[in-house]
Structure 1
Amino acid sequence: MNATAVGTGVDTGRRAPAIALAGVGKTYAGGVRALDDVSLTVEHGTFLAVMGPSGSGKSTLMHCAAGLDSPTSGSVRIDGREIAGLNETARTELRRERVGFVFQAYNLIPSLSVEDNITLPLRLAGRRPDRDWIGTLVERVGLADRLHHRPAELSGGQQQRAALVRALATRPTVVFADEPTGALDLRSAHQVLDLLRALVDDLGQTVVMVTHDPAAAARAHTALVMADGRVVEAMDHPMASQLAARLAALGEH
């Protein structure tokens, strides 16, 4: 499967997709082909999970789609803007404006309060925080009484929720989440996944999540399974058991 369209069935009219990849390839030094002619469209307000065995290309797909890396060939658009040919400075500016990131490591600065961590990307970009928007997010994730705490005073789940608010503070076109529950206990992982899904369903946020966990991927509207740099299957309303079986068939243990 070379071309995949992902959406929720909502009519987006003439608005450009949140993400559009066309014929994207990525070859690293030594001839290692991490992505092989991948075409993918992700509509706004969609929760997409990307899975696959180690070396399948899922992380490279995220890096190219998010502007963290440049493809060797093909087109990458975020909200209609071509980014594949941009230089590093221009890609950095686009990421700052259009993209939010949540990683397995929370990447909070220990010496700053939760509030200062959340607003730091805005301040670095010279933008004034939208206090109403951030207040809405903080209330939704249950951190309103933790804003003046340092990260070390929060649980892992609370730190990841703070990282999620930080990613959303700029009102990005898309949030990329790379193994966002990998460092969390089961209860905290469920809470973070519930929040991600609610942000999509209630606020229309677009989320692309890379994960090894079939249970996490089952929270998404659609799950893509990758192998050998290509999308080999797209599952709408995925079930964890289906995803686990598909990964097992591809040699994931």
Structure 2
Amino acid sequence: MRLIRTQHHEPPTSRQAPAVELAGVTKTYPGGVRALDEVSLTVERGTFVAVMGPSGSGKSTLMHCAAGLDSPTGGRAFIDGTEIGGLDEARRTELRRRSVGFVFQSYNLVPSLTIEDNILLPLRLAGERPDRAWVSGLIEPVGMTGRLAHRPAELSGGQQQRAAIARALVSRPAVVFADEPTGALDLRTAREVLGLLRDLVDGLGQTVVMVTHDPAAAARADLAMVMADGRVVETLKAPTAAELAQCVTTLETE
């Protein structure tokens, strides 16, 4: 399975700024609960990064702040070289539409729309015309050939997630955030979806940041960050599932 480059596409790796950058980011909720504690990280373009950690470790809050879905209490967050903190809600929404793709555990496809319309939805919301050469180059590799006229309910969970991945890519974002993307899938289908995410990085130079509780899923990444108590406590390059499982188990028993 290989994603197709088109002559109209400027690979994300050709841009200069990191896809995502956090500098001393904190997030404190009412009552004094600190979900993130001065987290700093840089996600270089064309890399696959996994974020793991026990329940309550801050990994979902990290993704929300890094993706511009939530505002940090302190520190600075950048997407595609633009600082999120200086933007009002309208400009933050515009930045997400332009530079961020999302893949969720529950797919979040619109039931009343066809698969084609679901894939093209981010462009239509942004008032942009689809680049048909780019869209055509996505359909076959993600396995949607012959499925574009279907509604989501007519597809399997794995097929719906593939459509969701195509939707995340259609605007050619600087980064795709995947939140437990295989959590609702069986093992075989999960492996196929993870293989597709891996191929986005290897074949397109796409940047992927994935939050997961699954060591086997995180082992597909180039870099895995393990969180505890709102901090990144371990960073593993080319991690193995066994290393990640041991790391998380140790944190859960401490």
TM-score, normalising length from structure 2?
0.93
Amino acid at match of 2:172: R
Partner of 2:28: 27
Cα deviation for residue 84 of structure 1 reads: 1.9
CA deviation vs aligned residue, 1:20-78 (integer Å, no higher than 9, x gap): 11010100000000000111001000000000001101000000000000000111111
User: Partners in 1 of 2:112 and 2:84 — Cα distance?
Assistant: 34
Secondary structure of 2:183's counterpart equals coil
Partner of 2:8: none
Q: How many residues align?
A: 241
Cα deviation for residue 14 of structure 1 reads: 7.9
User: Partners in 2 of 1:40 and 1:185 — Cα distance?
Assistant: 32
Partner of 1:135: 136
Partner of 1:9: none
1:73 aligns with 2:78: no
Name the CA shift for 1:29/1:79 in 2 (closer, same or farther; >3 Å). same
Matches within 5 A, 1:141-152: 141-152=142-153
More divergent stretch after superposition (63-72 vs 136-145):
136-145
- Contact 1:70/1:85 (8 A) holds in 2: no
User: Partners in 1 of 2:14 and 2:178 — Cα distance?
Assistant: 27
Amino acid at match of 1:135: S
Amino acid at match of 2:241: A
CA deviation vs aligned residue, 1:154-182 (integer Å, no higher than 9, x gap): 11000000000000000000000000000
Matches within 5 A, 1:161-240: 161-240=162-241
Segments of structure 1 that go 5 or more residues without pairing to the other structure are 1-11
CA deviation vs aligned residue, 1:175-227 (integer Å, no higher than 9, x gap): 00000000001111011000000010110000000000000000000000000
More divergent stretch after superposition (81-90 vs 228-237):
81-90
- Contact 1:99/1:175 (8 A) holds in 2: yes
Partner of 2:112: 111
- Contact 1:51/1:212 (8 A) holds in 2: yes
User: Partners in 2 of 1:86 and 1:52 — Cα distance?
Assistant: 30
Percent identity, please. Answer: 73
Partner of 1:6: none
TM-score, normalising length from structure 1?
0.93
Runs of 4+ in structure 1 deviating by more than 4 angstroms, as ranges, are none
